[in-house]
Amino acid sequence: MLTQLRTIVRASGSYLPERVLTNFDLEKMVETSNEWIVQRSGIHERHIAADDETTSSLAVKAAERALASAGLTADDIDLIICATTTPDLVLPSTAALIQYKLGVHQGAAFDVSAVCAGFVYGVSIADKFLKAGAFKRALVFGAETLSRIIDWTDRTTCVLFGDGAGCLILEAQYAAEDGRGVLSTHLRTDGRYHDKLYVNGGVSSTKSSGTVHMEGRDVFKFAVAGTADVVYDAFAATGLSVDNLDWFIPHQANERIIMGGAAKLGIPADKVVMTVGQHGNTSAASIPLALDTAVRDGRIKKGDLILIEALGGGFCWASGLIRW
């Protein structure tokens, strides 16, 4: 009997730059207060990349941890996908640089641009390739140096973001035990919202990189109420429901968005993994950073059912159900 290939999670890894920027540090930089930032966003501190660090260097450190956890080496990887909005260079891709730095000399590497939803898009793409038998083992990253595209004089944005990288090693397996693996992913984009959350620069428009701008209240409303469709699609596709979930790991933008979204979906607070308080919003990196945090502190265990979900600029939004 022919068995279908499944995409199994072999390991996670993450890395945060050493430098920590607290709300109290920000009080000295812009007209703001620790109280305001905590009350509106739940963020206490964020990590900022050093001058000699780049998105690919953060990602490589995350990958080394994931490979060590899985007992694998670079030679075992044949697909690298990096979700990022802050690439090292316009070309080649950050994924190609990660491939070079890790010493992977086979397969393919490319970047994904779906802003804060990028990691879920990356998992979805890798899952399709692995299930099709095109590659054997993928490293999927969310990696960002958001601090490089923040206007550090704009208090409405600079208090929210941070830097970091996280990844998953995904593997194609025929005999997946206990129904483990990536069960279903669902992606959406609606470009009519392109001007709600954007960077005001780019190669072909301004020949510069620009800085982050957003209509905070509109983003907030859509993030809480507009993204439930992809979660309901994931439940419909798998026959699972909120009651089956062990963990909800949404994009870590803002504590009020996360808890508002969880309440709308009927997910109890004790099933929500929240790292935004210590990491800030690290865009595509936020979900793999939160995942790896909860794996390493022992919350996530083999066989747990995990829902990941994210909204980012575009708007792009996405969900994924994973049996760990």
Residue type, 190: D
Nearest approach, Cβ of residue 303 and ligand ACO (Å) = 30
- Given candidates 5, 20, 40, 237, which one binds ligand ACO under the rule CB under 6 A? 40
Task: Rule CB under 6 A: say whether 160 interacts with ligand ACO.
Answer: yes
Residue 76's nearest CA partner among 104, 108, 111 is 104
Among the residue ranges 53-61, 99-107, 248-256, 264-272, the one whose residues contact ligand ACO (CB under 6 A)? 248-256
In whole angstroms, give the CA distance from residue 216 to residue 296: 33
**If binding is defined by CB under 6 A, does position 150 make contact with ligand ACO?**
no
Give the one residue of 32, 34, 189, 200 binding ligand ACO; rule: CB under 6 A: 32
CA distance 213 to 196: 8
Q: Which of residues 186-245 bind ligand ACO (CB under 6 A)?
A: 197, 214, 216-217, 219-220, 223
Q: Which of 118, 181, 280, 312 binds ligand ACO (CB under 6 A)?
A: 312
86 binds ligand ACO (CB under 6 A): no
Near ligand ACO by CB under 6 A: residue from 98, 116, 146, 172: 116
User: 146 is written with which tokens?
Assistant: 């958001």
Distance CA 60, CA 66 (A): 10
Q: Tell me the HSE value of 245 on the side-chain side, using a 13 A CA sphere.
A: 25
Return the number of the residue (17 or 42) whose C-beta is nearest ligand ACO: 42
CB of 154 to ligand ACO, least distance (A): 9
DSSP strand pairing (108-112 vs 79-83)? parallel
Radius of gyration of the chain (CA): 18
**Residue closer to ligand ACO, measured from CB, 11 or 160:** 160
Using rule CB under 6 A, residue 155 touches ligand ACO: yes
Told to check if 159 binds ligand ACO by CB under 6 A, we report: yes
Contact 112, 255 (CB under 8 A): no
Longest dimension (CA), the chain: 67
- What is the number of other CB atoms lying within 10 angstroms of the CB of residue 52? 6
What does the DSSP 8-state code read for residue 192? G
State the catalytic residues.
116, 251, 281
The binding site for ligand ACO (CB under 6 A) comprises: 32, 36-37, 40-41, 116, 155-156, 159-160, 197, 214, 216-217, 219-220, 223, 251, 253-254, 257, 281, 311-312
